[in-house]
Structure 1
Amino acid sequence: MDVVDSLMPYLVHLVVLYVSASVIYLVYKFKSTAGTRNLPPGKKGLPYIGETLDFVLASRRGTPEKFVTDRTTKYSPNVFRTSLLGEDMAIFCGAAGNKFLFSGQNKYVTSWWPNSIKKALMDPSSVDNSSKEESTKLRAYLPPFLKPDSLQHYIPVMDIMAKEHLDQYWSPYDQVEVFPLSKKYTFALACRLFMSVEDQDEIEKFAKPFALATAGLISVPIDLPGTTFNRAVKAGRQIRKELFALITKKKNEILEKGKTVASDLVDSMLMDGMTEVEIGNKIVGFFIASHDTTSTAITFIVSYLTDYPDVYNKVLEDPEKFDPSRFEGNGPAPYTFVPFGGGPRMCPGKEYARLEILTFIHNLVTKFKWDKLNPNEKISYIPSPIPEEGLPIKIQPIITII
């Protein structure tokens, strides 16, 4: 009897906890099914987590498309409803879906970032700002730095840095891992062009936390010690700390030297009267957009040039000569291949990315020939596609090939 009496408070707590959890689940279930008459077919999954775990697991296994195809088969080939990253979402599929989104900007849809991504990357004081407002400001500020005249000035810098990178990190070795090296190149280039940072130690202060932050963007948004999302939030904090120190330093230099001509993106923002927080948020966005996806593109170009030697031979043929035939062909059908988005959602850095990739690949194919060490390497998506072993290749200088 004494034992039962001593356990009674704990049993009461367990019953209360069970009843509370049941009530919360029933309320969630009611809300998730109420008012769904005009919503696409689908389900929200578990409370808060939604179907994020299913998506993350499919991505880690290298089959993120299975998450989509399973639901298009079950619900609709055009659109389905789900819950990812703690947010309710509708996923549009196929060319018709792309056309609807690109033509419906600010009419049916608007720019939006999940709160988990804003929490990981943005300053806490601006997390409540609307995604549309932040996106509009970001897009409005970019064009002067991405217009043809500006891009023309970037090409020599891209070319020099590509040559230096290959000489330092590729030439001394007969085997290299493409993905980490391409990230090193694209990140260093962004540091140089956006912030005038060239010192390798300074670059590393940003590179390491950026890697942690991007790895946690597509994860279950539970901010508890040891979780991927928690590491992303901490990394975001470290990025902002380093950025604010750099911005303050550049601000003092402008005031002390009376600078009137901006030498980079940060200078220009300071001269336009932006606050440190505004600049920090925008620079983080620029870095995510400018280096993570381009390094992935470079990696897979290197991979596919090995898989398709006939394409490699065309790339290598007369690399110093402009050949219009390389741009011939009708290309894919409209709205079926949209790596840079479309309409008002077209990536403003499209030409920057193309030039960065082309400049690097030009230098690479004129300097080396290569073979993959593991032709069957598995691909994971976290969030961009990544070769699990970093795409190790055996390289051979062109000059030694007979």
Structure 2
Amino acid sequence: MPMEYFFYLLPPLFFVLFTCHAFLSSIIMKHSPKPAKNCEKGQEISLPLGRTGWPVIGETLDYLSKIQSGTLENFVTDRMNKYSSKVFKTSLIGQPMAILCGPEGNKFLFSNEKKLVQVWFPGWSNKIFPKSHDVSNNEDFINIRRMLPLFLKADSLQKYVGIMDLVMKQHLQKNWDGDHVEVCLVVRKYTLALACRLFLSIDDPREVEKLAKPIEDIVAGIFSGFPINLPGTALNRAIKASKEIRASIDSIVKQRMADLTEKIVSPVQDILSHMLLTVDENGQFLNIVDISSHLLGLIFSGYSTLNGTLTFVMKYLAELPHVYDEVLREQMAVASSKKWPDLLGWEDLRKMRYSWNVASEVLRLTPPGFGAFREALTDFTYAGYKVPKGWKLHWIAHATHMNPEYFPNPEKFDPSRFERNQPAPYTYVPFGGGPRMCPGNEYARLAILVFIHNVVTKFRWEKVIPNERVFNDPLPRPGHGLPIRLHRHDFAVSESIF
């Protein structure tokens, strides 16, 4: 999963609550470094072309309006046409910012991590995901990324496919037993149960249910339009929810430490065991506070990033019968090759090529995050323009995803575009790219395919509200939660194994 996206997305009205900070930043902008001399050519290297908009507010209003209207790509293309197809400057939430455009800009940012740029997070994220020691957000992010591949890379996840399938089958029996479901609601239950099972080995539905309300409070706080810590605000509730979940995780961590010492559990049981047995670059084991905070971040990421993708998979399959039929054909071929009560395995998922093309097209049209931020570590030159140290940089997935140069008829849902020719490098970036590829992308792929297999082989469905409106606040969501009417297949793919 692209975990970094969800700590620094700009929610609606974000700028209002950072007016003081923005005012100071705008003053700093007026005293930005002057254009540097190009000693070779005797010419000045200018800042990128563009405008900083209104005092304090900058261009945040236009940026947010594009998010809410689902046309964020226009924020980029309008300025590319006016200023430069390579890079332009703007000001968002009081921050001087350079937008690097197109696949070349994406490649530059992804390839220069810790060299010229670093991940940038807003300061309030520390209140929800606190650290036990004085370390920058970026250093902490690097540390957790270093250990994640030990658990989340493809060959490590292979042995968990059966567990993921079992979690989904249990979820279907418990939450899909009627004729109607609200997709947003049942998807949230599945993604939380899956994250709890794989990250913490929590398989008691009652224990998972205890985390549902707190994790929703955290989601609401992070995406709140009022990220300020005052009683009654969404951020305040998110901070309290974080403390509640981390207290629960603390007790699990302590028990796991004892179980590992007594060799009662496997050291590769889940990501918690991996964290407890992994040392950092200084040869030190992580402490309980940091492990609990990291696990909370992972549960949040595994939960929040998948919800939208799975919801829109269901939406498009309801709207496009010919796509659904092709997915059903592929999934039935997989199901018919299984012997009851065998669970899905790694090789089964490798056969789901068309289903993954469908999911890929959903990720293109509605990526799990609309972009990410970096901060310049030093002055550098890009496309002939100077980007000063301390400036923020922003890449926006929609800018290439919705560009007809890279994806013809970009508004059309067309899974076949992933069959013919793979997208050009750095044009398709729902999980980032290159060295900055999100370490959770393989986990997301498996979770999505397991979900599709189980739902499609049991149901056909139709939307209860045919023209249900999609809102962006800031991520896209069906206005009424996508209620659907289920139609069970006449054939039985498998019997209960519980």
Query: TM-score band (shorter)?
Result: 0.7 to 0.9
Are 1:82 and 1:88, in contact at CA under 8 Å, matched by a contact in 2? yes
Are 1:44 and 1:83, in contact at CA under 8 Å, matched by a contact in 2? no
Aligned to 1:300: 312
Listed as ranges, the gaps of 5+ residues in structure 1 are 1-22
1:70 & 1:399 partners in 2: Cα distance? 52
- Whether 2:319 is the aligned partner of 1:314: answer no
| 1:274-331 deviations in Å (ceiling 9; x for gaps) | 2111202221222233221112111111111122222111111142244768773103
Runs of 4+ with deviation above 4 angstroms: 23-29, 36-40, 44-47, 49-77, 86-89, 255-260, 323-327
Call closer, same or farther: CA 1:366–1:28 in 2, change over 3 Å: closer
| 1:232-281 deviations in Å (ceiling 9; x for gaps) | 23322322222223222323444456656342221232234321112022
1:324 & 1:59 partners in 2: Cα distance? 31
Larger relative contact order (CA 8 Å, sep ≥ 6): 2
Name which one, 1 or 2, has greater alpha-carbon Rg. 1
- Give SS of 2:471's match: strand
- Superposed counterparts of 1:99-248, under 5 Å: 99-123=107-131, 125-126=132-133, 128-170=134-176, 172-218=177-223, 219-248=225-254
- Whether 2:441 is the aligned partner of 1:350: answer yes
Which has the larger helix fraction? 1
Q: How many residues align?
A: 374
1:59 & 1:76 partners in 2: Cα distance? 22
- Whether 2:294 is the aligned partner of 1:282: answer yes
2:118 & 2:25 partners in 1: Cα distance? 26
Give, in angstroms, the shift of residue 90 of structure 1: 3.5
Aligned to 1:264: 270
Kindly provide the amino acid, as one letter, of the partner of residue 389 in structure 1: H
Are 2:463 and 2:485, in contact at CA under 8 Å, matched by a contact in 1? yes
1:70 & 1:102 partners in 2: Cα distance? 24
1:149 & 1:113 partners in 2: Cα distance? 31
- Give SS of 2:150's match: helix
| 1:34-82 deviations in Å (ceiling 9; x for gaps) | 21655543437665x8766765565456555566567667765543332
Are 2:58 and 2:90, in contact at CA under 8 Å, matched by a contact in 1? no
Call closer, same or farther: CA 1:29–1:333 in 2, change over 3 Å: closer
Identity among equivalent pairs (%): 43
Kindly provide the amino acid, as one letter, of the partner of residue 120 in structure 1: I
Residue 94 of structure 1, aligned match among 99, 102, 115? 102
Residue 399 of structure 1, aligned match among 478, 490, 497? 490
- Give SS of 1:328's match: helix
Aligned to 2:427: 336
Kindly provide the amino acid, as one letter, of the partner of residue 198 in structure 1: D
Call closer, same or farther: CA 1:50–1:243 in 2, change over 3 Å: farther
1:133 & 1:50 partners in 2: Cα distance? 29
Give, in angstroms, the shift of residue 220 of structure 1: 4.0
Are 1:32 and 1:44, in contact at CA under 8 Å, matched by a contact in 2? no
- CA root-mean-square deviation: 3.2
Call closer, same or farther: CA 1:258–1:26 in 2, change over 3 Å: closer
Call closer, same or farther: CA 1:117–1:324 in 2, change over 3 Å: closer
1:232 & 1:94 partners in 2: Cα distance? 35
1:223 & 1:69 partners in 2: Cα distance? 36
Give, in angstroms, the shift of residue 27 of structure 1: 6.4
Are 2:26 and 2:55, in contact at CA under 8 Å, matched by a contact in 1? no
TM-score (normalizing by structure 2): 0.67
| 1:6-48 deviations in Å (ceiling 9; x for gaps) | xxxxxxxxxxxxxxxxx9998665323221655543437665x
Kindly provide the amino acid, as one letter, of the partner of residue 105 in structure 1: E
TM-score (normalizing by structure 1): 0.81
